[in-house]
Structure 1
């Protein structure tokens, strides 16, 4: 007994929504579905404002700009979409960049290190030290390039406030690199004493 009432309420709500939907947006939907290689965008008219503000309006109030049709990229519609997706899943997509893997494989702990807590902590420490060393060497290689970019930005007339942000980032990278190098020297000195 309740199902027919629920269906009737949903149908009435759908009809009311369709009837109250702004005419210009309904016309856009029809134009978009019939266009072959273009997207239809509504022209600004005063008739929609009589009904109140447009739902989900793309333009801010007060601005009146004439919108144009925008061409879409060509699509190969000779095959079905599901077949294309299945082939991309199995064989990859030729448009994606290649995955670059590290030259050296990540070291994994052996069974003895996994069994002994102190040995595993030592293994983790060496992995962390390797990570910090790679950051320091990458920062050392990248800092001259970043400084050259700042000089080119100044020569190109980029606003100083934008350049200041990059200079601050360079300072933080340099500070972190120095802290890593200093910490590594202290760790090496502590290891020599033991």
Structure 2
């Protein structure tokens, strides 16, 4: 065990020596601030590529564009986009099993059956709402001259939705009520 510890310490020492000897990307401060104006912030260590933009002679307006864009992106990442629409989630909160249902296996099975029935009923409802839209899209695609194979693919999807809906209603008639 002692040789392994010595090898590990030696590797750490060699790594530290290499890190200290590694050339640094030190750019003189004068080179970083050659394009700076009164509204440009002081250069930040570690980003000379951003502070050196734009190349010399392209003017103050060009110098402001990347910096303001970078600030905008940083603010958006940190605080969100104020112009983005809110995310609307109209999914009702999931109701978990009660303590009695958790304690009794048969009561929990009934709870699971109710949950599964709700999922199947939601599927049937979604098919009822979306199938007419899919049929309209297929008709619009035909009138626009969409390729026959793509129309056939969409029709197959519509038939699959209808088939699944019919099978669910046949197997579980209570969900259609």
Normalised TM-score (structure 2): 0.57
Equivalent residue, structure 2, for 1:126? 114
Residue 9 of structure 2 is matched in structure 1 by none
Taking the aligned partners of 2:98 and 2:16, their CA distance within structure 1 comes to 67
Write the mapping of 1:34-73 to structure 2, written as runs, cut at 5 A.
Answer: 34=54
2:90 partner SS? coil
For the residue of structure 2 that corresponds to 1:34, the secondary structure is coil
Cα distance in 2, alignment partners of residues 156 and 176 from structure 1: 29
User: How far apart in 2 are the matches of 1:110 and 1:4?
Assistant: 59
> Structure 1 residues 175 and 82 mapped into 2: Cα distance closer, same or farther (>3 Å)?
closer
Q: Give the match for residue 84 of structure 2.
A: 96
Count of residue pairs the alignment pairs up: 129
**CA-atom RMSD in angstroms:** 3.9
Cα distance change of structure 1 residues 84 and 4 upon mapping to structure 2, 3 Å threshold: closer
Q: Gapped runs of 5+ residues in structure 1?
A: 12-28, 36-73, 189-194
1:79 CA drift (Å): 8.7
Equivalent of 2:169 in 181, 186, 192: 181
1: distance between equivalents of 2:77 and 2:136? 46
CA distance in 1, matches of 2:164, 2:116: 15
- Deviation for aligned residue 1:117: 1.7
1:109 and 2:124 are equivalent in the alignment? no
- The aligned counterpart of 2:158 is 170
CA offset at residue 145 of structure 1? 1.4
- What is the TM-score of this pair, normalised by structure 1? 0.52
Distance 1:78 1:160 in 2: 46
Q: Where in structure 2 are there 5+ consecutive unaligned residues?
A: 1-12, 24-48, 56-64
- Hey, what's the Cα distance between the residues in 2 that align with 1:82 and 1:183? 53
